[in-house]
Structure 1
């Protein structure tokens, strides 16, 4: 039985041939279980260490996600799925363009302030006037 959010048999049949085979280090943990763990993590946003027991050890899923990202396995799966599904019209392309504009207050943008003295017109503390010494006539 397939759990909520897990790979269906049909989806697994499509991506299984695209996955790498076991390397020199020996037998890899079941790819399907690891992918389901990755899907759970991405769907829920849970920390890796909080993966349910059926997906353990979490380090395996984390490492496989990282490795397959670096070696292009995920890109290969995505390309295969999009190309085949788009060819038969099963991809619904929806464009979403979003722009958030926040107008800054004029003072936050560095604009000159109306009124008020020019900071350069004030006497420096190191001048006679700034130190309170009367000027000579």
Structure 2
């Protein structure tokens, strides 16, 4: 349904696309920032960015499912990493959970996040047929 494009002239990455086109009539779903907290609000993973990434992705999937969507319906993701975090430890975990989905992505390093001890936060936009 949603078209994800990698236009010629832009870097060709298997990890993300540059453009998402959502067709008329689709329902747009906005997922607020997901940290590595469990259902009780406790931080999961401590200083282990891979463990935190697993929890963040699990939370993202729960939020998507609540709206009738999956990672295949993602049209945009924003990932905030605390400065100094090893991105190479986080990427394979996130990529495995995305199961081949490659929406446009914004990544940024930040000084800190709202949840003390959180190393990353993901927000997303998805679209499903209405």
Please identify which structure carries the higher strand content. Answer: 2
Q: With structure 2 as the length reference, what TM-score do the two structures score?
A: 0.23
Structure richer in helix, relative to its length: 1
Q: Higher relative CO (CA 8 A, sep ≥ 6), structure 1 or 2?
A: 2
